[in-house]
């Protein structure tokens, strides 16, 4: 009797484990790390939100926010004619800012496709522009040596079979209202459309490095993996582009191979995100100002230091940054974004060694006050980012005997290492035998955030 119970419970545990082991494909952790290696090395990418909402110039959610009907929204499509669109210029700006990859909206929630699709008329080639803007973009970015990624919205506010839900411009309040709105809509048809279009973007533009599906919102009047057919979809993605890196918004968190990295949006993580106790690849996506699509009158632009801190801090916690621009209806990147990119580029030009190939510093290194640490495990160099420039003496706790050479990163000028403060030092200053002092110039170097590069023993 006891034996049977034991056996039964073993079987239950095993089978529940098997169910928990939901899988999209077989890949070992080592293989995954290798597949993501370029991305974890590169750290910094450009996000691009561009669609017909650029013409409204007041957020990519304008259709939902103002509950605009399809008929009234049509004017943005009819007038879409970005005569100044020159993706080579965009790519050059991204590259000069230090960005190594870019992700563009092939279709956002509004449903408009930036590519020529066989499965819809609501596409760029039917606007006055009349060219496959995505094709031009891919060619230009690749030619500049940037990796290319596609954002594709799972949500669709234009497709007639897509059922109205709580984020739809026609959203309702009660079940009865939804039933009425959706009685002639069939998600099965939309699921097929989704698969067809994802097949198009992953088949017609060569090797695609990143896929950014957006987004799931399960629950009441929401949508999740069954609505999208996510399991099938992801299997298809892995088949079409085995090397691709995919974000985590298709509601496949419990599935092995269902996602590659997590996507904290518009906030800074407190520490390196984990899943089931393990540190996972992550990328925060952020805007320069409060909107993804072009927003003429939005004024909350982050300044250069905030943006640099965002990048450095993300790397110091093992993550990436995808920083967004929302090009205008003319196809240009507006001056505010251009100048933000330019300033970041000035810093990156001389300091990118503390970003590329870097990650969280080993726990034995303590970040001095008002600083952020990054570390390159290959070169065994530690980077101290001085967020608030100190006055001359700077104590590095526990670093005695660990440093071979110290210099400013931006100009490779030596920083002298002293073992003690000098005269007049108080016994109880907190300075310990294992600490060292370095001597910084009184004048803050002419870079937004100076970086000390420590070549370690």
Sign of torsion, CA 58 63 67 71?
positive
Phi then psi for 287, rounded to 5 degrees?
A: -105, 160
Report the residue number, 222 or 362, with the smaller CB distance to ligand GLC.
Answer: 222
Please state the closest distance from residue 165 (CB atom) to ligand GLC, in A.
Answer: 13
Report the residue number, 48 or 406, with the smaller CB distance to ligand GLC.
Answer: 48
How many C-beta neighbours within 10 Å does residue 254 have?
14
Cis peptide before 215 (omega within 30 of 0): yes
Place of tokens 């495990």: 377
Cβ-based burial of 37 (10 A; exposed 0-12, middle 13-18, buried ≥19): exposed
Cα torsion for 334, 336, 337, 340, to the nearest 10°?
A: 150
Question: 307: helix, coil or strand?
Answer: helix
Please state the closest distance from residue 11 (CB atom) to ligand GLC, in A.
Answer: 42
Q: How far from chain centre, in Å, is Cα 407?
A: 31
> How is residue 224 written in tokens?
């999740």
Please state the closest distance from residue 151 (CB atom) to ligand GLC, in A.
Answer: 7
Please state the closest distance from residue 164 (CB atom) to ligand GLC, in A.
Answer: 17
> How is residue 70 written in tokens?
């399809």
How many C-beta neighbours within 10 Å does residue 423 have?
5
Report the residue number, 53 or 365, with the smaller CB distance to ligand GLC.
Answer: 53
Question: 418: helix, coil or strand?
Answer: strand
Pairing of strands 278-279, 274-275: antiparallel
Please state the closest distance from residue 9 (CB atom) to ligand GLC, in A.
Answer: 43
Chain positions 294 to 353 lying near ligand GLC, rule: CB under 6 A, are: none
Cis peptide before 113 (omega within 30 of 0): no
Q: Does 156 bind ligand GLC (CB under 6 A)?
A: no
Report the residue number, 285 or 454, with the smaller CB distance to ligand GLC.
Answer: 285
Please state the closest distance from residue 152 (CB atom) to ligand GLC, in A.
Answer: 11
- Window 66-95: contact mask with ligand GLC (x via CB under 6 A): ------------------------------
Chain positions 226 to 285 lying near ligand GLC, rule: CB under 6 A, are: 265, 285
Please state the closest distance from residue 272 (CB atom) to ligand GLC, in A.
Answer: 20
Please state the closest distance from residue 308 (CB atom) to ligand GLC, in A.
Answer: 21
Please state the closest distance from residue 437 (CB atom) to ligand GLC, in A.
Answer: 44
Report the residue number, 49 or 410, with the smaller CB distance to ligand GLC.
Answer: 49
Phi then psi for 67, rounded to 5 degrees?
A: 45, 55
Place of tokens 């931006």: 410
Sole binder of ligand GLC in the list 73, 90, 205, 292 (CB under 6 A): 292
Report the residue number, 155 or 452, with the smaller CB distance to ligand GLC.
Answer: 155
Decide: 170 and 122 in contact? Cβ < 8 Å: no
Report the residue number, 177 or 265, with the smaller CB distance to ligand GLC.
Answer: 265
Q: Does 165 bind ligand GLC (CB under 6 A)?
A: no
Report the residue number, 65 or 239, with the smaller CB distance to ligand GLC.
Answer: 65
Please state the closest distance from residue 283 (CB atom) to ligand GLC, in A.
Answer: 10
Report the residue number, 61 or 365, with the smaller CB distance to ligand GLC.
Answer: 61
Report the residue number, 50 or 431, with the smaller CB distance to ligand GLC.
Answer: 50
Instruction: From 111, 128, 101, select the one nearest 41 (Cα to Cα).
Output: 101
Report the residue number, 285 or 373, with the smaller CB distance to ligand GLC.
Answer: 285
Dist. CA 22–CA 421, nearest whole Å:
59
Residue 185: C-alpha distances to residues 68, 156, 248 (Å): 19, 13, 27
Please state the closest distance from residue 169 (CB atom) to ligand GLC, in A.
Answer: 13
Pairing of strands 147-153, 210-214: parallel
Q: Does 152 bind ligand GLC (CB under 6 A)?
A: no
Q: Does 214 bind ligand GLC (CB under 6 A)?
A: yes
Decide: 380 and 394 in contact? Cβ < 8 Å: no
Number of residues this chain uses to bind ligand GLC (CB under 6 A): 8
Please state the closest distance from residue 168 (CB atom) to ligand GLC, in A.
Answer: 12
Report the residue number, 214 or 313, with the smaller CB distance to ligand GLC.
Answer: 214
- CA geometry: angle at 279 spanning 223 and 359, to 5°? 120
Sole binder of ligand GLC in the list 44, 53, 55, 60 (CB under 6 A): 60
What percent of the chain is helix, strand and coil (3-state, nearest 5)?
A: 30, 20, 50
| Positions that interact with ligand GLC (CB under 6 A) | 49, 60-61, 214-215, 265, 285, 292
């Amino acid at each position: 009797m006891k034996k049977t119970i034991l056996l039964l419970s073993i079987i239950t545990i095993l089978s529940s484990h098997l169910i928990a082991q939901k899988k999209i494909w077989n890949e070992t952790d080592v293989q995954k790390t290798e597949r993501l290696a370029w991305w974890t090395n590169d750290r910094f990418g450009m996000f691009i939100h561009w669609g017909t909402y650029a013409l409204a110039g007041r957020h990519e959610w304008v259709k939902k926010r103002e509950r605009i009907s399809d008929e009234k929204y049509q004017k943005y499509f009819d007038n879409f004619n970005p005569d100044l669109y020159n993706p080579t210029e965009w790519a050059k700006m991204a590259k000069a800012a230090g960005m190594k990859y870019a992700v563009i909206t092939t279709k956002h929630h509004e449903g408009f496709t930036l590519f020529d699709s066989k499965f819809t008329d609501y596409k760029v080639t039917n606007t006055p522009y009349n060219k496959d803007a995505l094709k031009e973009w891919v060619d230009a970015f690749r030619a500049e040596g940037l990796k290319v990624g596609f954002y594709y919205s799972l949500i669709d506010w234009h497709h007639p079979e897509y059922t109205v839900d709580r984020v739809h411009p026609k959203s309702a309040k009660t079940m009865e209202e939804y039933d009425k709105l959706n009685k002639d809509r069939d998600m099965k048809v939309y699921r097929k459309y989704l698969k067809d279009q994802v097949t198009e973007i992953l088949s017609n533009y060569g090797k695609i490095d990143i896929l950014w599906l957006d987004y799931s919102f399960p629950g009441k009047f929401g949508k999740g993996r069954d609505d999208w057919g996510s399991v099938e979809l992801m299997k298809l993605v892995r088949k079409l582009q085995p090397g691709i890196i995919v974000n985590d918004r298709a509601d496949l968190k419990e599935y092995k191979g269902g996602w590659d990295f997590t996507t904290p949006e518009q906030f800074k993580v407190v520490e390196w995100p984990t899943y089931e106790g393990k540190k996972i690849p992550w990328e925060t996506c952020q805007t320069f100002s409060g909107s993804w699509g072009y927003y003429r009158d939005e004024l909350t632009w982050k300044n250069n230091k905030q943006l640099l801190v965002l990048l450095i801090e993300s790397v110091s916690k093992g993550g990436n940054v995808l920083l967004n621009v929302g090009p205008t209806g003319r196809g240009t990147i507006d001056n505010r974004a251009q100048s933000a990119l330019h300033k970041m580029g000035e810093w990156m030009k001389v300091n990118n060694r503390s970003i590329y190939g870097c990650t969280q510093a080993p726990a034995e290194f303590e970040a001095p006050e008002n600083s952020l640490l990054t570390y390159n495990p290959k070169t065994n160099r530690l980077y101290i980012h001085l967020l608030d420039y100190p006055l001359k003496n700077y104590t590095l706790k526990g670093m005695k005997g660990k440093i071979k050479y110290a210099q400013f990163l931006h100009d490779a000028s030596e920083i002298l290492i002293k073992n003690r403060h000098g005269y007049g030092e108080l016994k109880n200053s907190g300075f310990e035998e294992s600490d060292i002092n370095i001597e910084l110039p009184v004048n803050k170097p002419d870079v937004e955030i100076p970086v000390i590069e420590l070549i370690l023993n």
